[in-house]
Amino acid sequence: MSTPMPVNILMVDDQPGKLLSYEAILGPLGENLLKANSGREALEYLLRTDIAVVLMDVSMPDIDGFQLADMIREHPRFQKTAIIFISAVHLTDGDRIKGYERGAVDYISVPVIPELLRAKVTVFAELYRKTQQLEKLNRELEQRVAERTEALRESENQFRSLANSIPQLAWMADASGSIFWYNQRWYDYTGTTLDEVKGWGWDVVHHPDHLQQVTEKFRHSISTGEQWEDTFPLRGKDGNYRWFLSRAVPIQDVNGKIVRWFGTNTDITERKQAEEALIKSERLAAMGRLAGIIAHEINNPLEAISNAFYLLRDHPSLDEEARYYSKLAEEELARVAHITKQTLSFYRESQQAVAVSLSEVLDNVIELQSRRLQVNSIVLERQIETTGVVQGYAVELKQVFLNLIGNAIQAMPEGGRLRVRLVQSSDRRNGRPGVRVSIYDTGTGILPEHAKRIFEPFFSTKDAKGTGLGLWISKGIVQKYEGTIRFRSLRNGRVHGTCFSVFIPAVATTVPPTRAAMLVA
Amino acid sequence: MILCVDDEKNPLVLRKLVLERAGYEVITAGSGKEALEILSSRAVDLVLSDHLMPGMSGAELAKEIKNQNPQMPVVLISGVNDIPAEADVADAFVSKVEGPESLRRQVAAVLLEKTGDTGPPLGQ
């Protein structure tokens, strides 16, 4: 009888004759038969080799079978080794139990029946073989599991480092849309923790004006499985919102079932601002060109008419009434000329921006307006705290404050207070250093319905007196300096007035030389 | 003697009348080409030309005049808002919106600077 994988059978007996007879009985099994004459010898075998079954005589001189069994069992490696006791003496029930208590597996009594011994050894040898195979299989499985786990961990690590290296914010949601993971950039940008924003908790960084629409669209994608795309602002940890283009794709298992969503948010704030600025500057440039063309077409006949009235004014044939009409016409013509001139400032400027002191500019403007201040009983409060030097063109800057101070005076026909303030300051948007000029009046204030339109061209509240271009041109000039112009106005019974605040950076990065304020506005 | 150049008839005539009122003698030309022809045969103290004209522009005319006679004072007048770079060849660039008084002053200033002429005889 051959076996695919012989196992070791250790036979222990102090009588060599008995060992020989066991050998004869078990020989046909085809296993490796090892013979030990004593318990000590048996232990040496056990330590050296893997033993499937120990066949031992209970009564031996130095170490008896039970003692040997105890020693074997103490060793962790042999705790499950099969032991068959062979007892020559009559077995009592007590001996039997004692044997079992020591973990013995079986007994054979003398006289040994060869078939029985073979059968029992065969069972244990097979059991050992099967156990070995199982253990081997188990080890292989464990090895494979370990390898796969390692591979997964590796790919997980790769994914995470990839997800953290992309410039986008990234996240994953389960099939129901509940987010369970964000990349590091998300946390860096929003300043949140996973606990705050997991699941549907991300609503805390959304702008309230957009949240409902964003949520609806996202839920729609989750329920239909369609890719998600949306554009909305997200609040950073500094409290400022930035615009993000956001996308999410469903990840499916082999059966096509959506198991999770992978999403990104790409910061498009600068792109959006650039687009808006481009549209705005294109619109302004187009308006500037249009205004230039119109003004030119007006200027030609205007010059001729002005010349005609100039010649007519003192013509000897005119009587007093005709001269009066001529004078009225000339005055009105002067207004037309004023409009086109303001639209198309004709000043030849230096080609390079130079250091301009805003305190000098303001003093100059105040000087120009001093008569009007006096006539209208307006008290001037001058709060000039700095020389306010900026790089630029004095004429343009003068134009801005002439417009603002002129407007302030016009808002106070019954008198009031005009406060002109000049301080060192910084841009509220980016902290850039510069100068802030504030013009306060105690006038009638700006009607709320006018507030949104006052910087539009040809918008005027002064009826026939204004060109409607002053603030528009002023804003254009300020923006060219990369500055800001804002206003606040109160019309609250006794408390009323307006404050225009202009910020000009100390050094603008791009102030192109200009010839006409209009074209760059 | 001032040579006034403009392609538009009414503005040309009125500008001539304003200058005559100021005491100058004025002749006119309807184009740059005509102006050059006149200059080749007559003595002129100053050329006052519109800038934007069909054919030869005021700046081109000024350049041509300066080529032939660098001493000839040339004043350009225009309704455009942007001073063209090539207009630098002229001695002055006058805006149409500034009005007749301004035109008189600038013409007088250029004549004084270029020829030492202290001004026209007083007008009638």
Give residue-wise pLDDT tens across range A378-419.
999 999 989 988 888 777 788 889 889 999 998 898 899 999
Nearest to B81 by CA among A334, A285, A515: A515
Q: Is A135 exposed, middle or buried (0-12, 13-18, 19+ CB in 10 A)?
A: exposed
Inform me whether the pLDDT recorded for B44 exceeds 50.
Answer: yes
- Region A416-438: what's the mean pLDDT? 90
- Region A70-84: what's the mean pLDDT? 81
Long-range contacts of A270-278, Cβ-Cβ distance < 8 Å, separation of 24 or more: A272/A243
Q: Which of B28, B93, B96, B124 to mutate to test the interface with A (most CBs of A within 10 A)?
A: B96
User: What are the φ/ψ torsions at residue B73 (nearest 5 degrees)?
Assistant: -70, 130
Q: How far is B82 from chain A (nearest CA, A)?
A: 6
In 10 A of CB B25, how many CB atoms? 12
User: What are the φ/ψ torsions at residue A456 (nearest 5 degrees)?
Assistant: -80, 145
Reported confidence tier of residue A343, pLDDT bands at 50, 70, 90 = low
Averaged pLDDT of chain A:
83
Domain ranges of chain B: 2-115
Is the minimum CB–CB distance between A299 and chain B shorter than 8 Å?
yes
The token pair that represents A464 in the structure block: 């026939």
Alpha carbon A367 to chain centroid, angstroms: 54
- Region A195-222: what's the mean pLDDT? 93
Q: How far is A513 from chain B (nearest CA, A)?
A: 12
- Rank A89-93, A109-113, A346-350, A466-470 by mean pLDDT and report only the highest: A109-113
- Region B59-85: what's the mean pLDDT? 86
The token pair that represents A93 in the structure block: 């029930």
Q: Decide if A295 and B14 are in contact by the 8 Å CB cutoff.
A: no
CATH assignment of A166-267?
3.30.450.20
Q: How far is A511 from chain B (nearest CA, A)?
A: 17
- Region A477-500: what's the mean pLDDT? 86
Is the minimum CB–CB distance between A301 and chain B shorter than 8 Å?
yes
Inform me whether the pLDDT recorded for A25 exceeds 50.
Answer: yes
Is the minimum CB–CB distance between A332 and chain B shorter than 8 Å?
no
Inform me whether the pLDDT recorded for A350 exceeds 50.
Answer: no
Element (H, E) at B76: strand B74-78
Inform me whether the pLDDT recorded for A511 exceeds 70.
Answer: no
- Region B5-22: what's the mean pLDDT? 93
Q: What is the pLDDT of residues B52-66, one digit of tens each?
A: 888 898 999 999 999
- The answer to whether the CB of B3 falls within 8 A of the CB of B24 is no
Is the minimum CB–CB distance between A417 and chain B shorter than 8 Å?
no
Reported confidence tier of residue A348, pLDDT bands at 50, 70, 90 = very low
Residue carrying the six token digits 């805006």 = B95
- B53: closest chain A residue by CA: A300
Q: Decide if A304 and B11 are in contact by the 8 Å CB cutoff.
A: yes
Q: Is A3 exposed, middle or buried (0-12, 13-18, 19+ CB in 10 A)?
A: middle
C-alpha to C-alpha distance for B42 and A471, rounded to whole angstroms: 51
Q: Decide if B99 and A341 are in contact by the 8 Å CB cutoff.
A: no
Check residue A120 and give left, alpha or beta (phi > 0: left; psi -120 to 50: alpha).
Answer: alpha
pLDDT at A463: 57
Pick A305 or A449 by higher pLDDT: A305
Cα-Cα-Cα-Cα dihedral sign, residues A505, A511, A517, A519: negative
Inform me whether the pLDDT recorded for A495 exceeds 90.
Answer: no
3-state secondary structure A404-458: HHHHHHHCCCCCEEEEEEEEEEECCCCCCEEEEEEEEECCCCCCHHHHCCCCCCC
Inform me whether the pLDDT recorded for A519 exceeds 50.
Answer: no
C-alpha to C-alpha distance for A467 and A66, rounded to whole angstroms: 120
Q: How far is B98 from chain A (nearest CA, A)?
A: 8
User: What would be the CATH architecture of the domain defined by A354-520?
Assistant: 2-Layer Sandwich (3.30)
Which of A87-91, B89-93, B115-119, B120-124 has the lowest average pLDDT?
Answer: B120-124
CB-nearest partner of B97 from A302, A308, A519: A302
- The pTM is what? 0.42
- The answer to whether the CB of B49 falls within 8 A of the CB of B35 is yes
Is the minimum CB–CB distance between A311 and chain B shorter than 8 Å?
yes
- A293: closest chain B residue by CA: B80
- Region A308-325: what's the mean pLDDT? 89
Decide yes or no: CATH 3.40.30.10 for domain A8-137. Answer: no
Q: How far is A308 from chain B (nearest CA, A)?
A: 6
**All residues at 6 or more sequence positions from A221 whose CB lies less than 8 Å from its CB, including other chains:** A227, A228, A248
CB-nearest partner of A519 from B15, B82, B100: B82
pLDDT at A183: 92
What percent of chain A lies above the pLDDT cut of 90? Answer: 32
Q: Decide if A519 and B52 are in contact by the 8 Å CB cutoff.
A: no
pLDDT at A416: 92
- A349: closest chain B residue by CA: B83
Contacts of B77 in chain A (CB under 8 A): 303
Q: What is the fold, at CATH topology level, of the domain defined by B2-115?
A: Rossmann fold (3.40.50)
3-state secondary structure A132-201: HHHHHHHHHHHHHHHHHHHHHHHHHHHHHHHHHHCCCEEEEEECCCCEEEECHHHHHHHCCCHHHHCECH
Q: How far is B54 from chain A (nearest CA, A)?
A: 15
- Region B11-36: what's the mean pLDDT? 94
Q: Decide if A303 and B97 are in contact by the 8 Å CB cutoff.
A: yes
pLDDT at A496: 87
Which of A165-169, B8-12, B26-30, B84-88 has the lowest average pLDDT?
Answer: B84-88
In 10 A of CB A369, how many CB atoms? 20
pLDDT at A438: 95
Let me know the angle formed at the C-alpha of A424 by A422 and A427, rounded to the nearest 5 degrees: 110
pLDDT at A346: 36
Greatest Cα pair distance in chain B? 38
Using an 8 Å CB-CB cutoff, list residues of chain B that contact chain A: 8, 10-11, 14-15, 17-18, 21, 52, 77, 79-83, 93, 95-101
pLDDT at A127: 85
Contacts of A301 in chain B (CB under 8 A): 11
Cα-Cα-Cα-Cα dihedral sign, residues A480, A483, A485, A486: positive
C-alpha to C-alpha distance for A31 and A82, rounded to whole angstroms: 15
Reported confidence tier of residue A270, pLDDT bands at 50, 70, 90 = confident
Is the minimum CB–CB distance between A211 and chain B shorter than 8 Å?
no
Pairing of strands A82-87, A106-109: parallel
Nearest to A421 by CA among A491, A366, A497: A366
pLDDT at B77: 92
Cα-Cα-Cα-Cα dihedral sign, residues A423, A428, A434, A437: negative
Q: Decide if A300 and B81 are in contact by the 8 Å CB cutoff.
A: no
Q: How far is B15 from chain A (nearest CA, A)?
A: 7
- Region A105-116: what's the mean pLDDT? 82
- Region A300-312: what's the mean pLDDT? 90
Element (H, E) at A57: strand A53-57
pLDDT at A364: 85
Alpha carbon A11 to chain centroid, angstroms: 74
Contacts of A304 in chain B (CB under 8 A): 8, 10-11, 14-15
Q: How far is A334 from chain B (nearest CA, A)?
A: 9
Inform me whether the pLDDT recorded for B124 exceeds 50.
Answer: no
Contacts of A331 in chain B (CB under 8 A): none
Q: Decide if B79 and A519 are in contact by the 8 Å CB cutoff.
A: no
CB < 8 Å from B in window 342-361 of A: 343-346, 348
Pairing of strands B46-50, B74-78: parallel
Which of A58-62, A137-141, A467-471 has the lowest average pLDDT?
Answer: A467-471
Alpha carbon A185 to chain centroid, angstroms: 5
pLDDT at A466: 61
Domain ranges of chain A: 8-137, 166-267, 273-342, 354-520
Q: How far is B18 from chain A (nearest CA, A)?
A: 7
Q: Decide if A304 and B14 are in contact by the 8 Å CB cutoff.
A: yes
Q: How far is B48 from chain A (nearest CA, A)?
A: 14
Buried b (16+ CB within 10 A) or exposed e, A217-239: ebeebbeeeeebebebbbbeeee
Q: Decide if A337 and B99 are in contact by the 8 Å CB cutoff.
A: yes
C-alpha to C-alpha distance for A222 and A260, rounded to whole angstroms: 10
Q: Which of B10, B51, B77, B97 to mutate to test the interface with A (most CBs of A within 10 A)?
A: B97
C-alpha to C-alpha distance for A494 and A498, rounded to whole angstroms: 13
Inform me whether the pLDDT recorded for A96 exceeds 70.
Answer: no
Pairing of strands A495-505, A433-441: antiparallel
Q: Decide if B80 and A292 are in contact by the 8 Å CB cutoff.
A: yes
Is the minimum CB–CB distance between A295 and chain B shorter than 8 Å?
yes
- Region A131-149: what's the mean pLDDT? 89
Reported confidence tier of residue A90, pLDDT bands at 50, 70, 90 = low
Q: How far is A369 from chain B (nearest CA, A)?
A: 22
The token pair that represents A439 in the structure block: 């013009």
Q: Decide if B52 and A341 are in contact by the 8 Å CB cutoff.
A: no
Q: Which of B81, B101, B106, B122 to mutate to test the interface with A (most CBs of A within 10 A)?
A: B81
C-alpha to C-alpha distance for B6 and B57, rounded to whole angstroms: 10
Count of A–B CB contacts within 8 Å?
82
C-alpha to C-alpha distance for B45 and B37, rounded to whole angstroms: 15
Q: Which residues pair with A384 in a beta bridge?
A: A422
Reported confidence tier of residue A58, pLDDT bands at 50, 70, 90 = confident
